[in-house]
Structure 1
Amino acid sequence: MTGKKRCSLLPLAVVLGLLLASCVSGCSPQSGNVSEKVYVVGTDAAYPPFESAEGDRFAGFDIDVMNEVAKAAGFQVEWKNTGWPPLIADLDAGKVDIGMSAISITDKRREAFDFSDPYFDLNQLILVAEDSPISKLADLQGKQIGVQAMTTGEDIAKKAFGYSYAGIKSYKEMPSAVNDFLSGRLDAVIGDNGGIIYYATKIKDKKFKLIKDEAFPKESYGIMVKKGNLALVKKINQGLHTIKTNGTLQKIYDRYFQQQ
């Protein structure tokens, strides 16, 4: 749910060159009926292929999906790059209306926020060196593990090895964890499949493998709103239903993930 300042592994110009070819949107509301309601959407625009930004230009799978949901439901969106941890606080404080940032639907998050219907199914993967003997989560005991802070990957690692386990390194941004893995400072990185596969495909001159532990729970991404805003959830679900049934969501998915 997924560094923010581009690292050497993922040059900003390269990432945005790929993503902006598909979709570009600014911080201002999307074009449409001027009488339509405008909602501010907070995101962590450093998690390609789901969301990326350069200045006021946003691009990625989540960006495309949210824009199409808004169009189908009859409202407009204004994008705001909040970053990941601040997104939670901003949504709770009413500084943004919607959270759209590869956010896994969990029971804990449902206690504090309301979610749309799922729009993307996922699972966690473990990134390790190709010659590593690691084949499952339990094999990471005693290893240095990179995760993104406040994500389900972090929750899984802490539940498996203890919340005080010093080997878990939590990063503000996933690219920073991947870079430390490439530099030999980590034995493994745990992350959502869509994002970690994307980063793995960018790795040059280093052999690696991705491990799916069947013990990992199934997850889905949802669009998050402030607790109790059921009217907005209904609008979003109406838009989601439309783009699911008319094939738009599948077309967006194929654009970003068909090659994976």
Structure 2
Amino acid sequence: MKRLFTKQMGAAISGILAATLLAGCGNGNDSDNSSEEPATAWDEIQEQGVLTVATSGTLFPTSYREEGTDELTGFEVEVVREIAERLELDVEFTELGFDEMLTSVQTGQVDMAANDIEITEDRQEHFMFSTPFKYSYGTAIVRSDDLSGIETLEDLEGKKAAGASTSVYMETAREYGAEEVVYDNATNETYLRDVAVGRTDVILNDYYLQTLAIANFPELDITIHPNLKYSPSEVGVVMNEDNEELAENVNRVIGEMLEDGTISEISGEFFNGADVTEEVEIEE
């Protein structure tokens, strides 16, 4: 009887050990299955509840401060605010020079940049762009009396062209042999006045921006060149190439804003009634 009891106890103990081992294996598998994926950049943005955006604060009417106030506004500033609101996020702007903006996006210091940044093949190799929401083309600001001695783009050779070093417009100036004059996040007035007094000869830039910039300084002896129209362009906000979820969500709400006319309304407010969301065609 004593021997039988021992066998039964041994069987019971073996059963308990087996059950314990199985339970342990089961818990291990459950733990593996429930392990969470690493947080993405989009997860972190949602957790913090803030979209960080680089802009210049000096590019009228895209990003600037209204005279007499400290309020940052402008076409793309307001587009970004609407994007953030639809994504249920706050927005925090950081004012930087053009080159610094792109570096800050690339290094993850900010989530995106918005400052009339043209979509190009070269930039698409290093950054992710949103759906375009502004279409335009290039023009040139020159002195009114002699058009700065420029008749065609070929006449840029040897002229002093003002602008940001990495802008597509400065690339055009260099391509045609102009001498580049680079400013560190200067205001429109500085750029325009230097052309008027002869420190520089020309500013190559976007048609809409140039038109409104000149209208703000009617006392300056400058004009948009009547014959220079080139490089049709598309503009969107810029994001890090790895932030795919952010781009998907941004593009989703931009699509909604284009569909319901929100961006067209914002455009009319800052571009004297013009709708920059409409694609343009020019004869080059």
Q: Is the 8 A contact 2:76 2:115 kept in 1?
A: yes
Note the residue ranges of structure 1 that are not aligned, 5 or more in a row.
1-33
SS of the residue 2:176 aligns to? helix
Query: What secondary structure does 2:231 align onto?
Result: coil
Give the deviation of 1:131 after TM superposition.
2.6
Distance in 2, Cα, partners of 1:227 & 1:186: 36
Q: 1:259: Cα distance to partner? A: 5.1
Structure 2: runs of 5+ lacking an equivalent: 1-45, 275-284
Q: CA shift at 1:230, angstroms?
A: 0.9
Q: Could you tell me which residue of structure 1 aligns to residue 173 of structure 2? A: 157
Pick the aligned partner of 1:138 from 131, 138, 154. 154
**Structure (1 or 2) with the larger CA radius of gyration:** 2
What amino acid sits opposite 1:158 in the alignment?
Answer: R
**Is the CA contact 1:70–1:239 (under 8 Å) kept in the aligned structure 2?**
no
Q: 2 CA distance for matches of 1:114 and 1:120?
A: 16
Name 2:228's counterpart in structure 1: 213
Q: For residue 124 of structure 1, what is the aligned residue in structure 2?
A: 138
Could you state the TM-score of these two structures normalised by the residue count of structure 1?
A: 0.77
Separation in 2 of the partners of 1:66 and 1:42? Answer: 11
Between the two proteins, what is the percent identity of the paired residues? 22
In the alignment, which of 44, 53, 60 is matched to residue 41 of structure 1?
53
In structure 2, do the counterparts of structure 1 residues 259 and 117 end up closer, same or farther at CA, with 3 Å as the change threshold?
closer
Identify which of structures 1 and 2 has the higher relative contact order when contacts are C-alpha pairs closer than 8 Å and 6+ apart: 1
Letter in 2 for 1:88: L
1:115 correspondence with 2:129 = yes
Q: Which residue of 2 aligns with 1:80?
A: 94
Compute the displacement of 1:56 (Å): 6.6
Secondary structure of 1:154's match? helix
| 1:203 counterpart SS class | coil
Query: Separation in 2 of the partners of 1:61 and 1:227?
Result: 24
Q: 1:67 aligns with which of 71, 81, 92?
A: 81
Q: What is the root-mean-square deviation in Å for CA atoms of aligned residues?
A: 2.3
Distance 1:144 1:238 in 2: 42
Could you tell me how far 1:35 is from its partner in structure 2? 7.2
CA distance in 2, matches of 1:139, 1:160: 8
TM normalised by structure 2 equals: 0.71
Runs (4+) of structure 1 exceeding 6 A deviation are none
**Contact map agreement 2:98 2:164 (CA 8 A) in 1:** no
Tell me the equivalent position of 1:226: 240
CA contact (8 A) 1:72 1:242 kept: no
Task: Label 1:229 to 1:56 Cα distance change in 2 as closer, same or farther (>3 A).
Answer: farther
Shift, 1:87, TM fit? 1.2
Contact 2:139 2:205 survives alignment (8 Å): yes
**Contact conserved, 1:148 with 1:191, CA < 8 A, in 2?**
no
Give, in whole Å, the separation in 2 of the partners of 1:209 and 1:136: 15
- What is the identity, as a one-letter code, of the residue corresponding to 1:147? G
Which residue in the other structure is 2:4 paired with?
none
